[in-house]
């Protein structure tokens, strides 16, 4: 099983203590976002958790607790963009804080375990193509020795995204805009020995050296494990998503980053209501078990191929 922590919220930033408590107790609960009364109990034993994939904009609190994950294989998707407080209101200053946090995480885990995300890219009167290229280059130079890869994507203007970005003068991005950005980004990345991949993008950029990527990356996980794994593409994600199947442990409407482009929060009001329910000792993230809730054990298993793992071990 691959554990996704989390596409729905920033667990390393706001709920790291909760997650570490769940690791120590060996299980957690996840509420089904489609059927609110259906709750799954997820076994967190290292025997079945092949890899943990973290998504975050600030893992500083998690860094202090990495020793608690020593029995697990994991890596981080760390988002660092050039946006200011108008777009990412609760994110610390990149130059003053977050670049140093990224570097610290990389030193402690190894650069193969920290993926830099510069996404989503959106254009406005303030955030022009020139602005993004300058920001990308500055960050790339700072992270060149601390990661191997940069992941980019272009914003999807969902209804909630359009609503949350009202007044920020977001413009529709053309195909030419995407190509200009991509061509220049790959040049900057190359100078800093970084590869570039896209996340869930239809646009084909392979001709300029940008591959379609996978956030939950089968090849990377196999590399970290030293073992082949058997798994399918995640059917619960978008058609353009190349991620391996995983078990998601987060909850929507619980992220306090406040990013205007976020698709995981309906509103700040809803987030505040849910956060009031946060209990660091609860098996459930930001919620309580109600009388109509039904808890069932989710069937999970390791995806490791035992024969290939044995062969790799013998060769070593």
CA dist 196 and 14 (Å) reads 28
Q: What is the pLDDT of residues 259-311, one digit of tens each?
A: 999 989 988 899 999 999 999 999 999 999 999 999 999 999 999 987 766 55
- 3-state SS, one letter per residue, for 190-235: HHCCCEEEECCCCCCCHHHCCEECCCCCHHHHHHHHCCCECCCECC
Rounded to 5 degrees, φ, ψ at 313 are: -65, -40
Q: With a cut of 70, say whether residue 135 has pLDDT above it.
A: yes
pLDDT of residue 240: 79
Q: What is the value of pTM for the model shown?
A: 0.94
pLDDT of residue 313: 45
């Amino acid at each position: 099983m691959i554990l996704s922590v989390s596409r729905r919220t920033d667990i390393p930033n706001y709920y790291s203590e909760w997650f570490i408590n769940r690791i120590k107790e060996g299980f957690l609960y996840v509420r089904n976002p489609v059927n609110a009364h259906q709750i799954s109990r997820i076994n967190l034993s290292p025997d079945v958790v092949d890899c943990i994939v973290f998504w975050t904009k600030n893992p500083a609190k998690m860094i202090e607790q990495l020793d608690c994950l020593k029995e697990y294989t994991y890596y981080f998707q760390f988002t660092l963009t050039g946006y200011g407080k108008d777009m990412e209101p609760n994110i610390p200053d990149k130059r003053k804080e977050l670049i140093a946090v990224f570097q610290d995480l990389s030193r402690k885990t190894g650069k193969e375990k920290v993926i830099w995300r510069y996404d989503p890219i959106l254009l406005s009167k303030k955030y022009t193509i020139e602005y993004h290229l300058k920001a990308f280059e500055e960050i790339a130079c700072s992270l060149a020795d601390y990661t191997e890869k940069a992941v980019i994507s272009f914003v999807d203007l969902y209804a909630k995204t359009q609503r949350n970005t009202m007044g920020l003068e977001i413009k529709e991005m053309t195909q030419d805009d995407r190509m200009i950005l991509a061509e220049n980004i790959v040049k900057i990345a190359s100078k800093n020995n970084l590869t570039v991949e896209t996340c869930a993008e239809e646009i084909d950029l392979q001709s300029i050296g940008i591959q379609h990527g996978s956030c939950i990356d089968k090849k990377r996980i196999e590399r970290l494990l030293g073992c082949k794994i058997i798994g399918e593409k995640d059917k619960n994600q978008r058609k353009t998503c190349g991620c391996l199947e995983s078990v998601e442990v987060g909850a929507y409407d619980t992220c306090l980053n406040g990013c205007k482009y976020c698709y995981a929060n309906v509103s700040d009001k809803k987030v505040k209501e849910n956060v009031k329910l946060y209990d660091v000792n609860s098996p459930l993230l930001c919620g309580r078990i109600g009388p109509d809730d039904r808890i069932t054990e989710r069937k999970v298993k390791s995806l490791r191929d035992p024969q290939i793992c044995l062969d790799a071990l013998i060769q070593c």
